[in-house]
């Protein structure tokens, strides 16, 4: 009994030191995790990475380091961490299989944020929907359609298909077709089209616009009218030039023919 007390004191002292060391590992490790997380955020911010990805990368770094610190503290107490890591790995695998759709959206969100095929405010067509990007999150992207509907698209649907960004470039070409009758003067019509384009200040001089005969159709001779404009002016120019061409053709007596067919009737005498 007399030998038991000193042994107990020695055991408590040794185990107490181990606990203190483990607590120190947790405290210092948490501080270092916060410092390293901040460093990662500053580096990404300086590289002009999207803010959403900066926060995500910083948080991911922090929690990964915290997990490592906790395992180190547990190992310092003499607990075997091999089985513990195996259990965590199995649990992670099970969760991953259960949430594979969400993880796919998550991975796609990271790719969208990293490579930035579009940004908030761009007009895009993706996953069969066209609209203005309102919000880009890790799992979903929100669009506002021209008729003011809110559409939320899973990110994996966006990265799995074609993305058309109409706002990516500063300029766009407006493609119009204008038809005249076969009896009308082509040179007169071409001059009228050029004057219509020249009268609109929104149409750019460089690149130069195109007015040319493209087709002799069933009922009309068709011109392509292709002016270049700033992206923000696209629809305004599209609508206004279409109206201006109709009014100018009316004023100059140039016909815009309706589709027509020649029908020949033959009489058969019995």
Do 154 and 187 have their domain in common? no
Going by C-beta distance under 8 Å and a sequence separation of 6 or more, which residues neighbour residue 110? Answer: 53, 56, 138
Residue 216 lies in a domain: yes
Each residue's pLDDT tens digit, 223-247? 999 999 999 999 999 999 999 999 9
**Residue 77 and residue 19 in contact, taking contact as beta carbons nearer than 8 Å:** yes
Q: What is the pTM of this model?
A: 0.65
**Residue 138 and residue 153 in contact, taking contact as beta carbons nearer than 8 Å:** no
Residue 22 belongs to a domain with what CATH number? Answer: 1.10.287.1260
Each residue's pLDDT tens digit, 165-174? 999 999 999 9
What is the number of structural domains in the chain?
3
Using CA atoms, how far apart are residues 41 and 60, in angstroms rounded to an integer? 11
Each residue's pLDDT tens digit, 88-117? 666 665 655 554 567 788 888 888 877 889
Residue 259 lies in a domain: no
- pLDDT for the residue 65: 85
Which of 141, 165, 189 terminates a domain? The answer is: 165
Polymer length of the chain: 270
Each residue's pLDDT tens digit, 7-25? 544 544 556 677 777 788 8
Using CA atoms, how far apart are residues 214 and 221, in angstroms rounded to an integer? 8
Domain around 51 = 4-98
Going by C-beta distance under 8 Å and a sequence separation of 6 or more, which residues neighbour residue 80? Answer: none
pLDDT above 90: percentage of residues in the chain: 46
- pLDDT for the residue 136: 84
**Residue for token pair 């948080």:** 59
Q: Which residue has the higher pLDDT, 259 or 68?
A: 68
Task: Return phi, psi of residue 27, to 5°.
Answer: -65, -50
């Amino acid at each position: 009994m007399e030998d038991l007390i000193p042994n107990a004191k020695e055991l408590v002292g040794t185990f107490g030191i181990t606990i203190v060391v483990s607590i120190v590992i947790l405290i210092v490790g948490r501080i270092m995790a916060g410092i390293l997380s901040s460093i990662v955020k500053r580096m990404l911010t300086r590289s002009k990475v999207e803010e959403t990805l900066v926060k995500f990368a910083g948080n991911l770094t922090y929690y990964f380091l915290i997990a490592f610190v906790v395992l180190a503290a547990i190992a310092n107490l003499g607990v075997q961490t091999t089985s513990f890591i195996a259990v965590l790995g199995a649990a992670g695998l099970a969760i991953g299989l259960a949430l594979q759709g969400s993880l796919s959206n998550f991975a796609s969100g990271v790719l969208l944020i990293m490579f930035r095929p579009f940004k908030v405010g761009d007009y895009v067509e993706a996953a069969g929907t066209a609209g203005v990007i309102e919000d880009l999150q890790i799992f979903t992207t929100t669009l506002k359609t021209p008729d003011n509907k809110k559409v939320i698209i899973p990110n994996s649907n966006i990265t799995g298909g074609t993305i058309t960004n109409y706002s990516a470039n500063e300029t766009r070409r407006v493609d119009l077709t204008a038809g005249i009758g076969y009896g009308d003067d082509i040179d007169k019509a071409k001059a009228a089209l050029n004057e219509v384009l020249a009268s609109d200040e929104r149409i750019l001089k460089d690149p130069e616009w195109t007015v040319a005969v493209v087709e002799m159709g069933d009922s009309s001779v068709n011109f392509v009218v292709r002016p270049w404009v700033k992206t923000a002016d696209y629809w305004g120019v599209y609508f206004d030039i279409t109206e201006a061409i109709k009014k100018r053709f009316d004023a100059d007596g140039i016909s815009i023919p309706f589709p027509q067919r020649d029908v020949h009737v033959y009489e058969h005498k019995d």
